[in-house]
Amino acid sequence: MTPIRRLDHVAFVVRDTEAALTTYRDRFGLRVAHTEVLESLQVRLTYLDCGNAFLQLVEPLDSDTQLGRWLAEHGEGLHHVAFGVEGAVAAAAALAADGAPAAVEGQGRGRVSAFVPGEPLHGVQLECTDFVYEEDVAGSPGWLAPSSDAAVVTERVG
């Protein structure tokens, strides 16, 4: 049985959160749900509400950190995909390949999280974050209502 309860967020590493917000908030119309700076990791995390999951902008605040070096090597773009689970550290360990190192506890949005240790699975780094039913399901409509100022684009094929 899987420990995965939902897709929690898709994380993009960015050089400048404010510049990225001009796309994701201002152009796409996504609402900033939460932002925080994790001083111990020298990273800014910004969560944009996508209805049933979040888009997380991950900005390293120091180029001489693991994430800063990752950004320098790979550039902006997809960093990881996170699943909501019950018991993030244990779930990350359970999803890891045999012989992988131990999962390490982290945090984001006030929740425990842990990256699945070892090499990325099929080229994608995975993270587990604690699932909170009241917030993730009961307190979430699961979709974004259309805004009155949003343009609807329709393409006809054929």
- In what order do the strands lie in the sheet containing 126-130? 31-38, 43-49, 54-60, 4-13, 77-85, 126-130, 111-115, 105-108
pLDDT of 116: 97
Instruction: Examine the pLDDT at 137 and tell me if it is beyond 60.
Output: yes
156 domain-assigned: no
CB-CB neighbours of 38 under 10 Å: 13
Mean pLDDT, the chain, whole residue set: 91
The whole-angstrom separation of Cα 1 and Cα 51 is 26
Judged by DSSP in three states, 66 sits in helix
CB-CB neighbours of 7 under 10 Å: 14
What's the predicted TM-score (pTM) here? 0.88
Which domain range does residue 97 map to? 4-138
Q: State the total domains in the chain.
A: 1
Query: pLDDT per residue over 77-95, tens digit each?
Result: 999 999 999 999 999 999 9
Maximum separation of any 2 CA atoms in the chain, in Å: 55
Instruction: Examine the pLDDT at 158 and tell me if it is beyond 50.
Output: no
Question: What CATH number does the domain containing 109 carry?
Answer: 3.10.180.10
Instruction: Examine the pLDDT at 74 and tell me if it is beyond 70.
Output: yes
145 domain-assigned: no
148 domain-assigned: no
107 domain-assigned: yes
Residue in 88, 89, 92, 157 with CA at minimum distance from that of residue 126: 92
